Amino acid sequence: MSNIAVGNILEGTVVGVQSFGAFVNIGENKQGLVHISQIASSYVEDINQFVKVGDKVTVKVLEIKSDGKISLTMRIHEEKKEDRRPFKKRDDHRGGSGGRSNNNNSREDFESMMKRWMKTSEDKMGDLGKREKRR
């Protein structure tokens, strides 16, 4: 029975190191790639400072692609994204609608915002043109 499945944590041996990541033998005649971004939680400039051929490493299977390629990570003990507090959307008070959701009011508000943006943009372009003429 195969231990190689998404989410499984395995022991492996580094069999190759490239600038973009490390190839790890995870048994069952299989190798996976630990991309350089998955070596450590800090920025990895030189992968050779973290792993070398022959190192025993603990990896987690991130993905098994349809072509058989296996993506691995060494960042096992980090906080998962789903464990983080959910992103809370803020109320958008920039528009002049006062929270109204009537399509006619929203449309008018959008049009007035676009007109205001166009006026500001034209003013800025005019100022840039004046500056260029002074040179």
**Same domain assignment for residues 73 and 13:** yes
Per-residue pLDDT reduced to its tens digit, 61-111: 999 999 989 999 999 877 555 555 565 666 555 554 444 455 556 666 888
Each residue of 21-59: pLDDT tens digit? 999 999 889 999 999 999 998 899 999 999 999 999 999
**CA 131/CA 16 separation, integer angstroms:** 58
Per the CB < 8 A criterion, the answer to whether 15 and 23 are in contact is yes
- If one counts the domains in the chain, the total is 2
Q: Which of 18, 127, 12, 116 is nearest to 70 (CA)?
A: 12
The whole-number pLDDT of residue 73 equals: 94
pLDDT number for residue 127: 83
Q: Is the pTM of this model over 0.85?
A: no
CB 70 within 8 A of CB 2: no
Predicted local confidence at residue 107, as pLDDT = 63
Domain that holds residue 130: 100-135
Whether 62 and 121 map to the same domain: the answer is no
Tokens matching residue 66: 């349809």
